[in-house]
Amino acid sequence: MKRALIIFMAGFTAAWCNQAVAATTTANLGVQMAITASCVVSSVGALSFGTSGILSANVDATTTLGVQCTSGTIYSVGLNAGTGTGATVAARKMSSGASTLVYTLYSNSTRTTVWGNTVGTDTVSGAGTGSVQSYTVYGRAPAQATPAAGAYADTVMVTVTY
């Protein structure tokens, strides 16, 4: 019994000593991140006027482009004149060899506001939400002297200024 009591007391003392030695401390971990104003063109769909024969009437088409800017960032989206020789934003030109086909890009569905690349004049403005914002590009190939048969193409650069 004496031996059991000694073992019990030794175990009790060891447990009590461990509890007496245990301690805690705390500290704060600072966490931070800086967000800078930024924008990206997140998606640009191809604008296809399809296939046509004689261009005796307007041929209309639409596509969308997506812009994502940090929340609260004011921006404007511009479309340049494209790569067609002699093109302007009011009369862009698709090319096939030496032949060209005139078309225009608009920012409204009635196709009355030409979408250009001069900030504050003919661009589309917005304020960032942090999410992708979609814009419709309205295209029109007007009635014109029909050029030679072929596959016509152009490349227009999208610029976001913020």
What confidence score (pLDDT) does residue 146 get?
96
CATH number of 39-161: 2.60.40.1090
- C-alpha 57/C-alpha 139 separation (Å) is 14
How far CA 13 is from CA of 8, 18, 23, 118, 131, in Å, comes to: 9, 9, 18, 84, 63
Averages of pLDDT over each 10 residues, the chain, 162 residues = 46 51 93 97 95 97 98 98 97 97 98 98 98 98 97 98 98
Q: Which of 138, 147, 43, 57 is nearest to 94 (CA)?
A: 147
What confidence score (pLDDT) does residue 20 get?
59
Domain boundaries, the chain: 39-161
Structural tokens at position 9: 């007391």
| Residues recorded for the chain | 162
Its pTM stands at 0.82
